[in-house]
Structure 1
Amino acid sequence: MTYGSSVREELRDPTRELRRAIPTVYEGYKQLHDAALADGALDVKSKELIALAIAITRECDGCIAAHAHAAVRHGVTPAEAAEAIGVAILMNGGPGTVYGPRAYAAVREFHADASLTPAAAAHHGQHA
């Protein structure tokens, strides 16, 4: 496993346990998530890049992995992610140079994984 996948795997079981303990909190969060990331004046791809930059700012490995994965699913390329990460570094200074590379590694990992499957390639083409 590499960076993005290892973080997602590490959080999988504890998240499931907490979700079972407080399901209404997670249901409310999912509604907020879906509303905030829905297509609107900004497309989902742009919103995922914003979320990735904020994840770097908040120094949240779980958020980085989740939004790197979602960004790639919505057609973000490593070059686009790198530019968004550059803005996060600008706005965060030193911490951005630590969490930015983590985000870039996660995007590259999920982008490589997505390009290996025919279904993912077809889905990726829909967002180009």
Structure 2
Amino acid sequence: MSYGKEVREALRAPTRALRQAIPGVYQGYRELHEAALAPGALDTKAKELIALAIAVSKECDGCIAAHAHGAVQHGATPQEAAEAIGVAFLMNGGPATVYGARAFAAFTEFHEAQGERAGA
């Protein structure tokens, strides 16, 4: 099973339907998302890694896929992702070991795909 691309693909249609039903809410969330991840004292890569660790703690596969992808897009390395996930272990205990493995698999999937695109 893919914890990255397959999760994102499975969520596309239901997310689109809900976004059409409540466009204002989604617009507000989009603005919050952009503001929260904008570079400031922390760069976007660090913020995506924080979000990935929180997604592990929240046990949210969709969030894991989104922020694993975002972390890769902003230049995070597998080691940086692993260490961020390790902090989630500290803060969340045993359940984080399950969702942490999913998060690392998703990150690795996106990281390898980006490497393939760069080498192509």
Task: For 1:3 and 1:99, locate their aligned partners in 2 and report how far apart those are by CA, in whole Å.
Answer: 10
Contact 2:88 2:100 in 1 (8 A): yes
- Unpaired segments ≥5 residues, structure 1: 122-128
Give the C-alpha shift of residue 3 in structure 1.
1.9
User: 2:34 is matched by which residue type in structure 1?
Assistant: D
User: 2:94 is matched by which residue type in structure 1?
Assistant: G
Normalising by structure 1, what TM-score? Answer: 0.90
Q: Does 1:29 align with 2:19?
A: no
| Matching of residues 1-128 of structure 1 within 5 Å | 2-118=2-118
* Pairwise CA RMSD: 1.0
Task: For 1:103 and 1:33, locate their aligned partners in 2 and report how far apart those are by CA, in whole Å.
Answer: 20
| Identity over aligned pairs, percent | 70
User: 1:47 is matched by which residue type in structure 2?
Assistant: K
Any runs of at least 4 consecutive aligned residues in structure 1 with deviations exceeding 2 A, and if so which?
Answer: none
Corresponding pairs, count: 119
Task: For 1:59 and 1:75, locate their aligned partners in 2 and report how far apart those are by CA, in whole Å.
Answer: 24
Task: For 2:114 and 2:39, locate their aligned partners in 1 and report how far apart those are by CA, in whole Å.
Answer: 22
Q: Deviations over 1:84-122 (max 9, x none)?
A: 10110111110110100000000000000000113xx7x
Normalising by structure 2, what TM-score? Answer: 0.96
Task: For 1:94 and 1:2, locate their aligned partners in 2 and report how far apart those are by CA, in whole Å.
Answer: 22
- Unpaired segments ≥5 residues, structure 2: none
